[in-house]
Structures are given as C-alpha cells and as structure tokens.
C-alpha cells in the first residue's frame, strides 16, 4: 500500500490565503443569473465585472477516506440590495456532511433540503463552526463590509452538484432593507 504523506498547509486568518493551495475565482458574470434584479446586474456588468469570491484548496486526492479542505473569501458587495454570495451546491454524494468554520467577517449560511421544503439560515461570525448535515444544499452570503472568510472541511469524494441549484436557486434570499440584514422568501422559487 502506498502511503499518502502527512502535510501542513498554513491559513492566514486575515486574508484567507491557504498555502500551498490551488485557487479558483468567481466573478459576477459567473453567478449573474442567481441575482433577483436582472436590470441591476446588467448595469453593474456594463461597467465592471467584480470578483465576488475565491476558493483556495489544499491539494488532496478526491478519493474516499480523504478530507478535502479549503478557504473561501467572499468579498463585500451587493447587486441592488442583494448581498454577494457563493453559487451554492448539493454534494453529489448527498449523504456527506461538511463544516464551515468562520475566521473573519459576518455572513449567513443558507441551507435547504433537496426538495426545498426545509430551509435554515445560520449566522456566520468569527469562531462559528456551522454544521451542514448530509443532504442539505448550501450557499454562503457576505452580509458585512469586509471579506467573509471561512475554512471548510468535507469528504474529498463528495462531488459537487451545481446543476440543481442553477435551475432552482435557493428558497430564501438575503437582502439589505433600511440598513438591516433580512432573510426573505425567494420570489422566484
């Protein structure tokens, strides 16, 4: 049996950098279809294409038994009154759980059952360790004025199903109203 060697990565709690790691970037154009206000999205994209979030992965084989881990950095911003968020997904292996440990910033974690009948929204804040049980889709939202940075641990063979969320979105949306963070039903659900 070939042994996989133990290794460290170093996480910078201030910037979310994870070294050594592999970074992916998501711009507004990548997630534009999820936002409620299509006109506002168009207006923003006519001027610029802001970076919404980055994910930096430790390099771990995508095999059963391994634990994948990464940091996510969601930059502060809104389209209209809707805060920046991640695409969101289900795990292809539905029965796999995940933990999000928040290092910096303020957020909300929207979770839904596969049929969307159940939906829960947890607060994310420095020190919160949010448990995403098996079968819940998940999307995180930056509701603050600084980057929201969190560290995720999940089964390396979980796989990511983005197609389902692409079709449906999430049952709830997180908006700013009169300077307050509010969670409302998604009118397009």
Q: What are 78's two structure tokens?
A: 């809104």
Taking the complex as a whole, the smallest distance from the CB of residue 24 to ligand F6R amounts, in Å, to 8
C-alpha span between 70 and 36 (Å, rounded): 29
| Residue 175 found at the interface with ligand F6R (CB under 6 A) | no
Taking the complex as a whole, the smallest distance from the CB of residue 2 to ligand F6R amounts, in Å, to 26
Total of residues contacting Zn ion (CB under 5 A): 1
Binders in 129-168 for ligand F6R, by CB under 6 A: 138, 140, 152, 154, 160
C-alpha span between 188 and 183 (Å, rounded): 14
Angle at 125 between CA 74 and CA 15, to 5 degrees: 45
Residue 111 host element (H or E): strand 107-112
Sequence-separated (6 or more) residues with CB below 8 Å from residue 103: 11, 13, 16, 71, 126, 149, 150, 151
Binders in 31-90 for ligand F6R, by CB under 6 A: 55, 70, 72, 86-89
Taking the complex as a whole, the smallest distance from the CB of residue 127 to Zn ion amounts, in Å, to 20
93 binds, among Zn ion, ligand F6R, none (CB under 5 to 8 A by kind): none
Give the residue with the Cβ less far from ligand F6R, 41 or 150. 150
The number of helix segments (H) and strand segments (E) in the chain equals 3, 17
Taking the complex as a whole, the smallest distance from the CB of residue 57 to ligand F6R amounts, in Å, to 8
Sequence-separated (6 or more) residues with CB below 8 Å from residue 171: 112, 116, 119, 185, 186, 189
User: Which x/- pattern, by CB under 5 A, does the window 86-125 give for Zn ion?
Assistant: ------------x---------------------------
Residues near ligand F6R, by CB under 6 A: 55, 70, 72, 86-89, 98, 138, 140, 152, 154, 160
């Amino acid at each position: 049996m070939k042994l996989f060697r133990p290794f460290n990565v170093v996480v910078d709690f201030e910037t979310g950098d994870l070294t050594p790691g592999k970074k992916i970037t998501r711009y507004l154009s990548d997630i534009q279809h999820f936002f409620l206000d299509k006109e506002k999205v168009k207006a923003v994209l006519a001027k610029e294409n802001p970076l919404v979030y980055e994910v930096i992965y430790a390099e771990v084989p995508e095999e059963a038994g391994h634990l994948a881990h990464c940091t996510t950095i969601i930059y502060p911003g809104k389209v209209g009154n809707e805060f920046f968020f991640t695409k969101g997904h289900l795990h292809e292996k539905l029965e796999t759980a995940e933990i999000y440990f928040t290092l910096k910033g303020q957020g909300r974690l929207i979770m839904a059952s596969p049929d969307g009948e159940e939906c829960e929204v947890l607060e994310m804040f420095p020190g919160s360790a949010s448990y995403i049980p098996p079968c819940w889709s998940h999307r995180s939202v930056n509701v603050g004025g600084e980057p929201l940075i969190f560290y995720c641990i999940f089964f390396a063979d979980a796989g990511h199903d983005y197609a389902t969320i692409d079709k449906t979105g999430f049952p709830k949306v997180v908006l700013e109203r009169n300077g307050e963070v509010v969670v409302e039903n998604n009118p397009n659900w």
